Structure 1
Amino acid sequence: MRSLLHADVAYLDNLENGTVSFANETCGIFDYYLELLHQYYIPVMIFVGLVGNFLSSVVFLTTYLKMRSSSYYLAALAIADFVFLVVLTIVNCSFNEIFEIFNKEGWCQFLVYISSVASILSVWLIVAFTVERFIAVQYPLRRPSICTVSRSKTTVCVLSVMAIISQCYVFWTAGVEKDESNADVCSLIREQLSVIKVINTIDCITTLIIPFVLIVVMNIMIARNLFRFSRKMRSNTIEESGTSEKSIDSKDSSRVSKIS
């Protein structure tokens, strides 16, 4: 955000001097609308997300839906997204210079850590929810014994603990650094770049590639099973209608023979 503000100041200075080219004017307009987007659109989306996720978690945990095992995955997902949006709100306020917390030592590591935990937990909760849907479609008779409320609670707790432990590296890889203008900025520590590259590779595999493959494969199998079930139901309906027509024809023929 500071770079955008600097771009606007430079643009106004050039405008006063009468030396603004068409390209600079276009960039100035683009920066202006980008700043408006950052100041108004993003906060509105964050507010809508906070309200939506809060209401979702309340509905899943306090209504009759709490009797369903899948509701606990969705409630935990809503809570994880809510926490992430709270951190994003704090970061956005720091960038807009409303209050400065994100770029302070200690707060920087803590907020990055919380957002990382919420992000990875959100991804694997979606995977867990997809697994439950897959079991319900693939093994409908075994679903009541496998997909229980207690098991879903245990799964959510295990995923939460794993997310909390797996993101502890943030406290050693993130910190407050000086930027070009000698201002304090929360960023990655330069001395840890070699370690960060390895961690980013592992993080990409565990939070993007593996969940993506699992979700796609299970959704394809769910769609295939639903298609097979639909086709089977359609064929059974056709057979039943044909059988009923034959029985009606036989009854009519028997009545005609009796009359004759």
Structure 2
Amino acid sequence: MVTLPIIIFGGTIGNVLSFLVLIRRRMRVTSVYFYLTVLSCSDTLVLYVSAFKTWVAEVSGFELMRVSDASCKVTTFLVLFGLYVSSWIIVLLTVDRCVAVCFPLRAAWLCTVRHARRLTLALVLVICVYNFHVFWTFGLYTREESDRMYC
């Protein structure tokens, strides 16, 4: 009960500070900073949709996923979306740095902010399509042995 608020508070402060530093004009000239900015946003999304939701459920007993069928589906989609984006942004960042180190002459063309934006947009679209099944495969149901609703 004490751990989650500390993680949420520390994660929020860290992600907001990272975001504020990374959006400065001097920082926006390389693809690494763009990827790190997107990572701080996606990590904040996961932090609030997952950890904060869990903490609120522990403290108050209110579970957002059990309010309606739509809230179950949207919350599940956002959790999966945020987790996948965070993971795959790290992959794009790693590939970007690998290209910069192993192929320095090609890095001037490949490792640009414009290229990073396009890759990130493609990544977000692929993850949305990949997780779109949540809207027809997830939903609220009641177990026979209890009267509780589950998502």
1:100 is displaced (CA, Å) by: 3.6
Question: Contact 1:53/1:78 (CA < 8 Å) preserved in 2?
Answer: yes
Equivalents in 2 of 1:82, 1:133: separation in Å?
A: 24
Matches within 5 A, 1:34-53: 39-53=1-15
1:177 is matched with: 141
Larger Rg over CA atoms: 1
1:98 is displaced (CA, Å) by: 5.2
1:54 is displaced (CA, Å) by: 2.0
1:81 aligns with 2:46: no
> Structure 2: which amino acid aligns with 1:157?
L
Of 30, 49, 66, which aligns to 1:103?
66
Structure 1 segments unaligned to the other structure (5+ residues): 1-38, 187-260
Tell me which of the two structures has the higher relative contact order, counting C-alpha pairs closer than 8 angstroms and 6 or more residues apart: 2
Runs of 4 or more off by more than 4 Å in structure 1? none
CA deviations over 1:7-53 (Å, ceiling 9, x no partner): xxxxxxxxxxxxxxxxxxxxxxxxxxxxxxxx110221122112211
Equivalents in 1 of 2:134, 2:75: separation in Å?
A: 10
2:55 is matched with: 92
> Structure 1: which amino acid aligns with 2:23?
L
2:120 is matched with: 156
3-state secondary structure, aligned to 2:43: helix
1:120 is displaced (CA, Å) by: 0.9
1:141 is displaced (CA, Å) by: 2.1
C-alpha spacing 1:58/1:98, structure 2 compared with 1 (3 Å): farther
1:113 is matched with: 77
Equivalents in 2 of 1:79, 1:46: separation in Å?
A: 14
1:64 is displaced (CA, Å) by: 1.2
C-alpha spacing 1:129/1:155, structure 2 compared with 1 (3 Å): same
Q: How many residues align?
A: 148
Question: Contact 1:104/1:176 (CA < 8 Å) preserved in 2?
Answer: no
1:125 is displaced (CA, Å) by: 0.7
1:63 is displaced (CA, Å) by: 4.2
C-alpha spacing 1:93/1:64, structure 2 compared with 1 (3 Å): same
120-129 vs 53-62, greater mean Cα deviation: 53-62
Q: What percentage of residue pairs aligned between the two structures are identical?
A: 29
CA deviations over 1:159-213 (Å, ceiling 9, x no partner): 1111111101111222222244311122xxxxxxxxxxxxxxxxxxxxxxxxxxx
For the aligned residues, what is the CA RMSD? 1.5
1:202 is matched with: none
TM-score normalised per structure 2: 0.89
3-state secondary structure, aligned to 1:142: helix
